[in-house]
Structure 1
């Protein structure tokens, strides 16, 4: 009794509270896995999350175009400072563009084979930052050429894997607007680069300041991807085969009729035919037989070009992008010769193209999906070629050729620089809508391999851009800027014929290819 009273008088033993993991530590741990599980359909992510994803994709995808042009105003300084032959300086731009076409095929193969998106985007930005650091301290022109190739490899991941992420997160009838916003980042990079580069070159570091800026950009993009981009690889076989049941069901419905309705939902090409908000339970699909995984073939994306419909769409987009890049290449030397522009004035002259790109992104994004749904409604069935909507025809037949000719002949006769700037803006306005539509078409036509087919199209696009980059300045020196843009306008009209063939015979070509 006495002992009990003593025990009662003693204070209760205090145990330390269990250690709780801080929110920051949990967040860091959640970002460490290279291949996190995707438990929720990426298409059910909130609009806010999808907006963040698009912003990060645009940030990664802008780096190749941005870094390819940021040093354009300083090309004469590089030639003089490194005692470089003119051909070597040209190769720093041409080979960069060539590797922008080759490298995405390897990134896409890795992404589709290992079912990853996020870690590739992060590592590619780190490669880009390291190569930019080497370029900033390089003292040999041929070393700079090699590092520019590595820089291109690192920056090019976003242009193929980014398209795969959009296919993961957006159903077919909403991809047009998503691609419009995404390509705004892709194309705004090469137009913003010379503007920033023109001012950076005026610093004490000269042209090297442009590469120091790329170091900071690459590290910033890698950090943002690591912190805010979720893994989005969508297992279509898993998420598309889950049969939803809605809250309201008719008790008089026969089982056979319910099965038929579910089969009809599966056969429907419209991804939004089921209201996801009313889903209360799902019937898991039967386990699929285990199949041996194929070995990764990095050349698989390039083999897709054997299909005519993929090759035609790639050529159309390639001509549009290559024409824009050719004009970008000849602007620094021509504006210096014709209008006595210095580096920062040359950089500011790209603002007109940026405005054209912005307007093209906004207009094309809104029109593409709306015209797609209208064409489906009029026909009564879905057809992938509906993605080649009416807005791209005036772009490829009128806006791009008119802009090219206005730009070239204003420079030929040494007329108003503002007219030349407006002409280049017309080119980018049309190019953005053509690229968005053809890229969305390819992703829609080849479900499950969006990254690979985008890499194949990107290879053709960059190959054409590389050829036109190498030929642009010699053509201007030989026949003048006026007739150079006449040839580019003729290429645009030839691409319009290819686009018409794809529009009319695209369905037959897809069926012939097995799609």
Structure 2
């Protein structure tokens, strides 16, 4: 910034003006607050923190990101008990009381992401962690199904904080050539939570009752929130530099000190701009809109499977409540394999460019050796799962099918999320929030028609319909790898 200012001032051809310009530039440089030079060595910059400190923060954010999606499906095996206790037999209501939590995931990011980019990430994490504990306790004490649905919705709104801000925290801490690995670890939570949840929930419900699901979540998340409060500091550079500038203003009494990352916009206007940023990106940015739509459709398909696994495996294979929870493990195994695959290869192209002194671009996160296997695995797995359950082939075959779906899902999700983080680095939380909003909406609403679809088309053709749709959308990430840079540079929006 200082170099650009000096270059501009040097263009003047009047000697008195040149001297005035030099004085003004020196004054601005003196009060321009940034990392100490060289910036790559300033210990105050999150990028320069020790590896141990960085991975502790990533680990804590990842654990919270695991706990909150865990709550989305851990409750599923107890739905029969809930319906019996509250005297209802509605299949639609049984699906909604589970998926309403994910609906909370759709509304939370619209508030949480802007707040994290306006006033910092840490306090947003801590407040939402406390609210998550409170609403789990409220769910455990719910006197009726209406109040249970209401509290689960609020639980989802609070619980989405780590999912919304986690990618932004990683962008604050980790350089591009290592970011894919960190994103892989963080992504374990959102994907494994809904899978491990029913397994644990199935045994817990069978041993106690559905209310203990929420008590266990409240106890574990309460303990994690206390540890999180003490171990996770603020990482957002604009906030850290503004605090540094505030300290200088206070210690010197000179109000001219200003963060280099300060946009110079009044606080109220900045807050409003932050608040509308995720929606603006979703509507006006073709990158965010197309990628979010693709992920949303795939996420909706995944939640159709998640909300019907129990009914399918109990009905087709005679599984018990606890055993039906184990049916989610096929997806988990596939996701674990996919995570290892994408975590190993995600940074490869970036590292090669860095070693060759070339400038990486966000589209390097979408190499064909990741996007082609990932996008094709999803329809393939849906075909295997659908027709094997339709013909009641041995249960291991549909489990293999769900494993293939899981492999494809995490591969595509990881590629797209890391791409959005690299493409919108400063506003990574808002970009991921826009994606989370859309995918959570479909993740909550599509399962409501899953049972009706299976009733009308059967498991074979019902899942084949999903597979054909997934296949039709498969070229999206592949096309972005080739033409995404041109689209991204030509369609800039004011954020």
* 1:227 Cα offset (Å): 2.0
1:233–1:376 CA distance, 2 compared to 1 (3 A): closer
Task: Name the structure 2 match of 1:300.
Answer: 277
Partner residue of 1:104 out of 98, 103, 109: 109
Task: Name the structure 2 match of 1:142.
Answer: 146
- Once residues 437 and 452 of structure 1 are traced to their aligned partners in structure 2, the CA distance between those partners, rounded to angstroms, is 17
Task: Name the structure 1 match of 2:325.
Answer: 347
Aligned length: 432
TM-score normalised by structure 1 residue count? 0.79
* 1:490 Cα offset (Å): 1.8
Q: Matches of residues 32-111 of structure 1 in structure 2 within 5 Å?
A: 40-84=44-88, 85-111=90-116
Task: Name the structure 1 match of 2:17.
Answer: none
The root-mean-square deviation of aligned C-alpha atoms, in Å, is: 2.4
1:236 touches 1:448 (CA, 8 Å); kept in 2? no
Match status 1:218 vs 2:217 = no
- Once residues 46 and 322 of structure 1 are traced to their aligned partners in structure 2, the CA distance between those partners, rounded to angstroms, is 39
- Once residues 501 and 236 of structure 1 are traced to their aligned partners in structure 2, the CA distance between those partners, rounded to angstroms, is 37
Alignment partner of 2:237: what SS? coil
Task: Name the structure 1 match of 2:398.
Answer: 420
* 1:375 Cα offset (Å): 6.4
- Once residues 488 and 378 of structure 1 are traced to their aligned partners in structure 2, the CA distance between those partners, rounded to angstroms, is 43
* 1:455 Cα offset (Å): 0.3
1:286–1:353 CA distance, 2 compared to 1 (3 A): closer
* 1:393 Cα offset (Å): 2.5
2:367 touches 2:481 (CA, 8 Å); kept in 1? no
2:92 touches 2:448 (CA, 8 Å); kept in 1? no
Structure 1 window deviating more from structure 2 (478-487 vs 389-398): it is 389-398
- Once residues 467 and 176 of structure 1 are traced to their aligned partners in structure 2, the CA distance between those partners, rounded to angstroms, is 30
Task: Name the structure 2 match of 1:185.
Answer: 189
1:395–1:287 CA distance, 2 compared to 1 (3 A): closer
Structure 1 window deviating more from structure 2 (190-199 vs 471-480): it is 471-480
Partner residue of 1:445 out of 423, 447, 453: 423
Task: Name the structure 2 match of 1:5.
Answer: none
* 1:503 Cα offset (Å): 2.3
Structure 1 window deviating more from structure 2 (38-47 vs 284-293): it is 284-293
1:83–1:372 CA distance, 2 compared to 1 (3 A): same
* 1:61 Cα offset (Å): 1.2
* 1:113 Cα offset (Å): 0.8
1:195 touches 1:348 (CA, 8 Å); kept in 2? yes
- Once residues 151 and 204 of structure 2 are traced to their aligned partners in structure 1, the CA distance between those partners, rounded to angstroms, is 20
Task: Name the structure 2 match of 1:120.
Answer: 124
1:318 touches 1:464 (CA, 8 Å); kept in 2? yes
1:397–1:443 CA distance, 2 compared to 1 (3 A): closer
Alignment partner of 1:467: what SS? helix
Task: Name the structure 2 match of 1:249.
Answer: none
Task: Name the structure 2 match of 1:409.
Answer: 387
2:374 touches 2:407 (CA, 8 Å); kept in 1? no
1:395 touches 1:430 (CA, 8 Å); kept in 2? yes
2:68 touches 2:159 (CA, 8 Å); kept in 1? yes
2:308 touches 2:451 (CA, 8 Å); kept in 1? yes
- Once residues 215 and 263 of structure 2 are traced to their aligned partners in structure 1, the CA distance between those partners, rounded to angstroms, is 52
Say which structure is richer in helix: 2
Task: Name the structure 2 match of 1:508.
Answer: 486
* 1:499 Cα offset (Å): 2.0
1:371 touches 1:390 (CA, 8 Å); kept in 2? no
1:129 touches 1:218 (CA, 8 Å); kept in 2? yes
Q: Matches of residues 266-345 of structure 1 in structure 2 within 5 Å?
A: 291-293=265-267, 294-297=269-272, 298-305=275-282, 306-345=284-323
Give 4+ residue runs of structure 1 displaced > 4 Å after superposition.
236-239, 284-291, 375-381
Deviations 1:372-394 (A, max 9, x none): 33467799543221111223333
1:372 touches 1:389 (CA, 8 Å); kept in 2? no
- Once residues 485 and 207 of structure 1 are traced to their aligned partners in structure 2, the CA distance between those partners, rounded to angstroms, is 30
Match status 1:496 vs 2:458 = no
Deviations 1:164-219 (A, max 9, x none): 10110011222111111110122110011001001100123x11111111111220
Alignment partner of 1:514: what SS? coil
Which consecutive unaligned segments of at least 5 residues does structure 1 have? 1-37, 240-283
Which consecutive unaligned segments of at least 5 residues does structure 2 have? 1-41, 243-257
Match status 1:195 vs 2:170 = no
- Once residues 68 and 422 of structure 2 are traced to their aligned partners in structure 1, the CA distance between those partners, rounded to angstroms, is 25
- Once residues 420 and 362 of structure 2 are traced to their aligned partners in structure 1, the CA distance between those partners, rounded to angstroms, is 9
- Once residues 290 and 125 of structure 1 are traced to their aligned partners in structure 2, the CA distance between those partners, rounded to angstroms, is 32
